[in-house]
Amino acid sequence: MSISSEREVVRDLARRYADIAALPIQNERRKLWSRKNSLQRTRPLILANFGMWNVWCREVFGDDRMRCSDPFLRTHERTLRMALFQHEVGDDSICEPWITQAAARIGGGWEDLWGPRIEFIKPGEDGGAFRIDPPLKKWSDLSKLQVPHHRIDEAATAENVQRLRDVVGDILAVNADRSPACLGFLADISTLLARLRGLEQIMLDMSESPRELHALLAFMRDGILTNQEEAEKAGDLSLNSHSNQAMPYAEELEWPKANSGPRLRKQLWGYCAAQEFTLISPAMHDEFLLQYQLPILEKFGLIAYGCCENLTNKISILRKIPNLRIIAAAPTADLRRCAEQIGADYVISWRPNPSAMVCCGWNEAKIRRILREGLEAAKGCHLIIHLKDIETLEGDLSRLARWTKLVRRLADDFQ
């Protein structure tokens, strides 16, 4: 296929997406999310999404399924096709009236953000588990660490943004995202700490080498703050730098907007997780993670905390986060106990187990039972029902839309 033909593929997808983004339902959802995240009573809001790292996503949206062979065009073809699919799911996701081109950062990747390269050892190219070879094997290796400065390749960024504008700029606004690397999982300390030092090793370090571990944590805290401060001073934080694992709306904050111009962290949602600390006691979680996360989190306007870690026994320490607004209740969490502790003080983002929902067959009676139990346990709370980390749909792509319709019917009884 010629480049001109591939451009037309992307343009056609952009037209279809622009029509969806202009539907009145998008603004209705914006208002619902804004109310939900501002602790006002609404129906439970529903998200059913996925990540490109998942096996089934590669099967549906992999390179061999795209019509564009040009890597740049193929990336945006995939993004648009995934957005169109998300719309068909029928959840409360919002289709924004723009398309985003990320800035070309200098450094700042998952493998080498802190200097020493993290090696991911995979069994093959078709997914599955992998193991990590952590580079900080000895405490003397800390001398190899580098501060993750915020740097952008301006020439490459301008070229990429202009190229996308040349393709779809008359159809969709092109948002240039200049956000720093250290947002989300790359700002939670926990994720890369375990990859730099080793998950089992940091558990040993808490008892055997607490002084050295505290020094590493302090270095990472200060490095993340430096990365964010440099981006803020450069004017590279914007209303598309929000991050909350939901829809980043709230009455206290400005809503997302393409090319908004500079904003401060206190005007944005921030997000943090602690997945690697799920087996760590509340006291050690507080000492060896939360106290280092707090100086990062307090800079933001509102905070969402948690992903797949079980936070059932840690709600009390999370209350130390002054701007906390959303707490995740992972599949392994005790939703009833979480709800009893949280009440109406925060939004609960409940993540039912995707294996029981859509990944291992379709058992509607079982799905109904689990959802009813969860809705009853969280009755009276501000609730998001978030189906995520979906590794397979066993070839049945209709399951997500069917699941969403089922949740809507059940949730009507628990408003």
3-state secondary structure of 406: helix
Quote the number of domains for the chain. Answer: 1
Using alpha carbons, select from 308, 297, 240, 255 the residue that is nearest to residue 272: 297
Query: Encoding tokens for residue 379?
Result: 């009755």
What contacts 353, CB < 8 A, 6 or more positions away?
331, 370
Domain that residue 66 falls in: 3-414
What would the DSSP string read from start to end of 208-256? H-HHHHHHHHHHHHHHHHHHHHHHHHTT---TT----SS----TTSPPP
Q: What is the pLDDT along the chain (415 residues), one digit of tens a residue?
A: 798 999 999 999 999 999 999 999 999 999 999 999 999 999 999 999 865 456 556 667 888 889 999 999 999 999 999 999 999 999 999 999 999 999 999 987 888 899 999 988 876 666 667 788 999 999 999 999 999 999 999 999 999 999 999 999 999 999 999 999 999 999 999 999 999 999 999 999 999 999 999 999 999 999 999 999 999 999 999 999 999 999 999 999 999 999 999 999 999 999 999 999 999 999 999 999 999 999 999 999 999 999 999 999 999 999 999 999 999 999 999 999 999 999 999 999 999 999 999 999 999 999 999 999 999 999 999 999 999 988 888 888 899 999 999 999 998 876 6
CATH number at 158 reads: 3.20.20.210
